[in-house]
Amino acid sequence: MKPEIFNEMIATRRQIHKHPEEGWTEFETTYLVYERLKALGYTKILKGTEVIKTDCVLGRDEQLVQKAIARAVAQGVPQSFIDAIESYTGCVGILETARPGPVVALRFDMDALRIEEADTADHLPQVLGFRSEYPGLMHACGHDAHTAVGLAVARWVMENKDRLNGTIKLVFQPAEEGVRGAWPMVQAGLFDDVDYVLASHCGGKAGPGEVALVHRGVLASTKFDIRFTGTPSHAGNQPHRGHSALMAACGTSMMLAGIPRHGDGTSRVAVGRLVAGEGRNITPVHAYIQAEVRGETAEVNEFMCENVRKIVMGNAMAYNVDYEIERVGDATTLDRCPEMIEALREVALGIEGVKVLDLKSPAGSEDFTWMGKRVVAHGGQCAFFRWGCRHNGHHKFHFDLQDTESMPVAFKMFTGYVNKMNGQN
Ligand SMILES: [Zn+2]
């Protein structure tokens, strides 16, 4: 890896880390990616509504979006850019070599999380001065590093374009958290001509110096926002006249945990947030739940979804309240393409000091799976790998990834794969 690319990659990661943006609000990040791709000489750059089919978008909060636009504009993102992307984040750089060869797509996600970052002396971003400058937001899953690796790969691709064949697509995806961004990118047709699609994530079960090839265990998942609306009454005088949304929400939460296990595979259910009620002596009118389910197969996940719907309906009926269930995110399982996994193994074994692992047990979810499915559906292949670090736990306030040590491995994996598939020698 050339020192200029390495230095720029680390600086970019730290720059993005300072300005974390959650799903569908990655305006500064999208602008940074777009400007960088343009400066590198990419002539085909798609962005915003060119890469997102807006009527397929889930879990996008217009109020959050508008607030983020105001912040991004204050940070120097031109209003003309916001207009050009029609307030939708996401960017894709495409290099067409005009020489016959495969279409290879690489996916990099860009979004952050609602977490207040650690400010203690043992937290490297704090010590080195690149801690999040946005209160309550943090890159606590390493997508800042994913984006920076993507831009470093984009630079390498440009510098090597005269000895590459086929087409290389660099896909910068919004809203991976909550599994929202991939589906509308697939629906925009970005993967219809792709032969091989590759994505990665830092950390997980991979430690420092390890590359983990994912064979299975990526769970299908569906995210729900559930709302109950009850009838208010005086809790002392007329408790019998009220219908409590809070009770329906509590009943639902308890029962969700009791969905039977499925015989055909691992399942998960979680209620991550419950907000309800107005005041001590008022029968609660409003209740709001954020919940999710997962399944080892699409069928197991659908079984979980069906139970969520029944439990919500049943509790609404029991407590005599109205309900609304909104699907706000969706991911499927990872298609397994052994040939592509073996190609990645060869690339990984060629990197000095790297140890290769094979992952087969149930882990998290990824909406990259939709991209993989689309490519596999027309005869292509997909794969997903992890590059290791000591992360202190994903989605936690002291998450870190030792950028200078871990990120070069990711860079070498992606460029190594492009070299293998599109290289002329
Ligand atoms: Zn993540």
DSSP 147-211: HHHHHHHHHHHHHTGGGB-SEEEEEEES-TTTT-SHHHHHHTTTTTT-SEEEEEEE-TT--TTEE
How large is the average pLDDT for residues 314-324? Answer: 98
Instruction: Confirm if 7 and 404 have CB atoms less than 8 A apart.
Output: no
Task: Give dist(CA 185, CA 106) in Å, integer.
Answer: 13
| Whole-number pLDDT of residue 208 | 96
Contact of 114 with 180, CB cutoff 8 Å: no
Distance 328 CA to ligand 1 centre (A): 17
CA 88 / ligand 1 centre spacing (Å): 20
Q: For each of the domains in the chain, give its residue range(s) and CATH number, in order of start.
A: 3-218+334-422 (3.40.630.10), 220-331 (3.30.70.360)
In angstroms, what is the span from residue 202 Cα to ligand 1's centroid?
8
Q: What's the order of all strands across the beta sheet hosting 103-109?
A: 44-47, 91-96, 167-173, 103-109, 196-202, 381-387, 210-214, 355-359
Please determine, for residue 271, whether its predicted confidence score (pLDDT) is greater than 80: yes
* 326 contact partners, CB below 8 Å, separation of at least 6: 224, 225, 226, 227
Distance 414 CA to ligand 1 centre (A): 18
| Spatial contact of 250 and 321, defined as CB atoms under 8 Å apart | no
Measured in Å, residue 268 CA sits from the centre of ligand 1 at 18
Counting Cα atoms < 13 Å in the Cβ hemisphere of 416 gives: 18
Confidence (pLDDT) at 362: 82
**CB atoms < 10 A from the CB of 339, how many?**
10
Residue 353 DSSP SS3: coil
Work out the pLDDT band at 259, boundaries 50, 70, 90.
very high
Distance from the alpha carbon of residue 385 to the mean position of ligand 1, in angstroms: 13
User: What per-residue confidence (pLDDT) applies to 361?
Assistant: 87
CA of 363 to the centre of ligand 1 (A): 12
**CA triplet 306, 296, 103: central angle to 5 degrees?**
110
Q: State in Å: Cα 233 to ligand 1 middle.
A: 44
Distance CA(212)–CA(344), nearest Å, equals: 10
Give the pLDDT score at 193. Answer: 98
pTM of the model: 0.94
Gap between the Cα atoms of 39 and 43, Å rounded = 10
Q: What is the model's pLDDT at position 201?
A: 97
Distances (CA, A) of 358 to 198, 201, 206, 387: 16, 14, 10, 12
Q: How far apart are the CA of 150 and the centre of ligand 1, in A?
A: 15
Task: Extract the tokens encoding 328.
Answer: 């706000």
pLDDT digits (tens, 9 = 90+) for 161-200: 999 999 999 999 999 999 999 999 999 999 999 999 999 9
Nearest CA to 189 out of 378, 381, 384, 337 is that of 378
CA of 145 to the centre of ligand 1 (A): 10
Per-residue pLDDT reduced to its tens digit, 273-293: 999 999 999 999 999 999 999
Cα 376 to middle of ligand 1, angstroms: 23
- The share of the chain scoring above pLDDT 70, in percent, equals 100
Q: Compute and round to an integer the Cα radius of gyration of the chain.
A: 23
CB-based contact 51:189 (threshold 8 Å): no
Q: Which two tokens stand for residue 172?
A: 């910068």
**What pLDDT is attached to residue 31?**
98
Flag whether pLDDT at 425 surpasses 80.
Answer: no
The mean pLDDT value for 404-408 works out to 97
β-strand 167-173 against 103-109: which pairing, if any? Answer: parallel
pLDDT, one tens digit per residue, over 374-390 is: 999 999 999 999 999 99
The alpha carbon of 222 and the centre of ligand 1 are apart by a number of angstroms equal to 16
Distance 226 CA to ligand 1 centre (A): 24
Confidence of residue 352 (pLDDT cuts 50, 70, 90): very high
Mean pLDDT rounded to a whole number for the chain: 97
Residue 365 Cα to ligand 1 middle (Å): 9
